[in-house]
């Protein structure tokens, strides 16, 4: 049995050491997040009841909102002052009724908006990939997707597949256009949503691809039969992923292939033109030389049907 190589162990130990330091640092708290306000309510805080006087609709909707926990619970230290947890002290605003006297997270810089959300949500499992997510890098704030005041079947964020897709398409119009092609995953029909494959909070895989089971690409959540391991692996599946041959968002070609005819998907790698070392590429030599004039040799999949990997045949015949 093969074991993980030594530098992986070293990495793991380094990670453990890093987190041990982190825990130690957190206990020390020289620069840890500010503790919740003291139990004694400072004068500038007005309390949620004061907010209700003018914003009754939001106040009532908020009762069914997941953030109601902030209002009623003690964990975050904002009990009875949930509104001011995000909007800041509201005493002055309550006196003046001026919008200028209250913090409006939706109008702040995205990084500042996120900072407010992360006051409570900083270290959560969904945020393991947050730092690396393209959303974070591109200053897409939490409130771009999450409606903090909203209530209803969707809660803070779209839950129905069609609503999720609509939300994502609001920015990714070019990607949504790919789903109008004839061969695509069934997103326009509402059978799937963008978050079935992508984690909007980020992932350690490229393009925020979801991971399933043992950190495998999210594709295998539905296509478990392609997961392997196979006794005869087709290297591109593992090395380049599904996108080596498929366009998952949509294609004009059957089975979402990158090329109009199957043979070109194969022949572009299995070219019989070996590249000299050191720039050698894998798979350049074809498994056999066929008479490509014959239709039966023009679709490689007719015989090599187990191209995702085979349990029995080295040539992926069965």
Partner 1 sequence: MRYLLALILIVPALAQQPEQPAKPADQAAAAPAQTEQKTESPAPAATEDWITGSVDFGYRWVSDAGNFESYRSVVNLGQGPKLTGIDFTILDPNKRFFDRLDARAYGWGGDPYSTAHVDARKLGIYDFSFDYSNIAYFNALPSYSNPLAPAGFDEQSFDTHRRNTSLSLDLRPGKTIVPYLAFDRNSGYGHGIDTWVQDSNDEFAVPTLLRDSTNNYRGGIRIEWCNCLHVTLEVGGTTFKDDDQATFSGANYGDNTTPLLGQTLELTSLQQAYGIRGSSIYTKALATASPFSWLNLYGQFLFSEPRIDVHYTDLATGNFALLSELLFYSGQQNIGTGAANQPHTSGNVGFEMRPFRRLRIIESWMTDRYHDAASPLDAEQILLTPKTLGPDLITAANYSQAVNYNQQQTDVLFDLTSRLTLRGGYRYVWGDATVLAGPLSQSGPLAYGQLSRNVGLAGLTFRASQKLSVNLDYEGASSDRIYFRTSLNDYYKLRARARYQLAASLMLQANFQVLNNQNPNAAIQYNFGSRDNSLAVYWTPAGGKRISVMGEYDRSTVSSSIDYLGLFLSPAVSAYRENAHTASSAIDIALPGYAGLTPKFTAGGSLFISSGTRPSSYYQPLMRLSLPLQKHVSWNTEWKYYGYGEQFYLYEGFRAHVFMTGLRLSR
Site for partner 1 in 58-77 (CB under 8 A): 63-64, 68-69, 72-73, 75
> Smallest distance from the beta carbon of 134 to partner 1, in angstroms?
8
User: What x-and-dash track marks residues 205-244 binding partner 1 by CB under 8 A?
Assistant: -------xxxx-----xxxxx-xxxxxxx-xx-xxx---x
Q: Between residue 4 and residue 43, which ones bind partner 1 under the rule CB under 8 A?
A: 4-5, 8, 11-12, 14-15, 18-19, 21-26, 28, 30-33
**Of 92 and 287, which CB lies nearer to partner 1 in the complex structure?**
287
**Of 97 and 285, which CB lies nearer to partner 1 in the complex structure?**
285
**Of 150 and 212, which CB lies nearer to partner 1 in the complex structure?**
212
Written as six digits, the tokens of 283 are: 């798979």
- Burial code (b: 16+ CB inside 10 Å, e: under 16) for 253-271 equals beebbeeeebbebbeebbe
Nearest to 204 by CA among 126, 123, 129, 127: 129
Tell the burial category of 195 from Cβ atoms under 10 Å away from its Cβ (0-12, 13-18, 19+).
buried
Q: Between residue 281 and residue 300, which ones bind partner 1 under the rule CB under 8 A?
A: 281-293, 295-296, 298-299
- Does 150 engage in binding with partner 1 (CB under 8 A)? no
**Of 96 and 134, which CB lies nearer to partner 1 in the complex structure?**
134
Q: Which of 54, 95, 191, 207 binds partner 1 (CB under 8 A)?
A: 191
**Of 41 and 76, which CB lies nearer to partner 1 in the complex structure?**
76
**Of 150 and 244, which CB lies nearer to partner 1 in the complex structure?**
244
Contact 284, 270 (CB under 8 A): yes
DSSP letter (8 states) at residue 217: E
Q: Which of 127, 156, 157, 248 binds partner 1 (CB under 8 A)?
A: 127
**Of 148 and 251, which CB lies nearer to partner 1 in the complex structure?**
251
**Residues in contact with partner 1, total (CB under 8 A)?**
143
With tokens 């999450």, the residue in question is 146
> Smallest distance from the beta carbon of 11 to partner 1, in angstroms?
5
Whole-angstrom distance, CA of residue 102 vs CA of residue 85: 12
> Smallest distance from the beta carbon of 224 to partner 1, in angstroms?
3
Contact 299, 290 (CB under 8 A): no
- Does 183 engage in binding with partner 1 (CB under 8 A)? yes
Number of H helices, E strands in the chain: 13, 2
Q: What is the DSSP string of 14-66?
A: HHHHHHHHHHHHHHH-SSPPPPPPPSSPPTT---HHHHHHH-HHHHHHHTTST
Contact stretch for partner 1 (CB under 8 A) within 3-11, 41-49, 51-59, 83-91: 3-11
Whole-angstrom distance, CA of residue 60 vs CA of residue 49: 11
Nearest to 46 by CA among 12, 88, 16: 88
Written as six digits, the tokens of 6 are: 């030594």
- Does 100 engage in binding with partner 1 (CB under 8 A)? no
Contact stretch for partner 1 (CB under 8 A) within 37-45, 85-93, 94-102, 307-315: 307-315
Decide: helix, strand or coil at residue 124: coil
């Amino acid at each position: 049995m093969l074991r993980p190589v030594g530098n992986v162990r070293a990495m793991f130990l380094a990670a453990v050491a890093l987190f041990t330091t982190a825990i130690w640092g957190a206990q020390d708290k020289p620069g840890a997040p500010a503790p919740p306000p003291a139990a004694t309510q400072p004068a500038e805080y007005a309390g949620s009841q004061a907010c209700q006087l003018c914003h009754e609709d939001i106040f009532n909707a908020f009762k069914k909102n997941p953030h109601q926990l902030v209002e009623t619970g003690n964990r975050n230290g904002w009990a009875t002052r949930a509104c001011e947890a995000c909007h800041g002290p509201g005493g002055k605003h309550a006196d003046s009724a001026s919008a200028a006297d209250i913090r409006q997270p939706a109008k702040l810089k995205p990084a500042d908006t996120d900072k407010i959300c992360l006051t409570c949500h900083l270290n959560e499992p969904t945020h393991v990939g947050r730092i690396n997510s393209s959303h974070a890098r591109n200053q897409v704030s939490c409130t771009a997707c999450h409606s903090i005041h909203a209530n209803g079947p969707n809660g803070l964020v779209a839950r129905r597949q069609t609503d999720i897709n609509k939300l994502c398409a609001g920015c990714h119009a070019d990607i949504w256009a790919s789903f109008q092609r004839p061969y695509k995953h069934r997103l326009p029909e509402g059978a799937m949503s963008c978050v079935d494959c992508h984690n909007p909070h980020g992932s350690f895989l490229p393009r925020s691809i979801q991971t399933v089971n043992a950190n495998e690409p999210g594709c295998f959540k539905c296509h478990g039969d392609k997961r392997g391991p196979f006794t005869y692996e087709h290297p591109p599946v593992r090395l380049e992923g599904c996108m080596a041959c498929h366009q998952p968002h949509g294609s004009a070609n059957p089975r979402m292939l990158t090329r109009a005819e199957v043979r070109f998907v194969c022949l572009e790698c299995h070219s019989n033109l070996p590249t000299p070392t050191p720039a050698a590429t894998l798979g350049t030599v074809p498994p056999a030389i066929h008479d490509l004039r014959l239709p039966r040799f023009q679709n490689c999949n007719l015989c090599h049907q187990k191209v995702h990997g085979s349990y029995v045949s080295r040539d992926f015949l069965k």
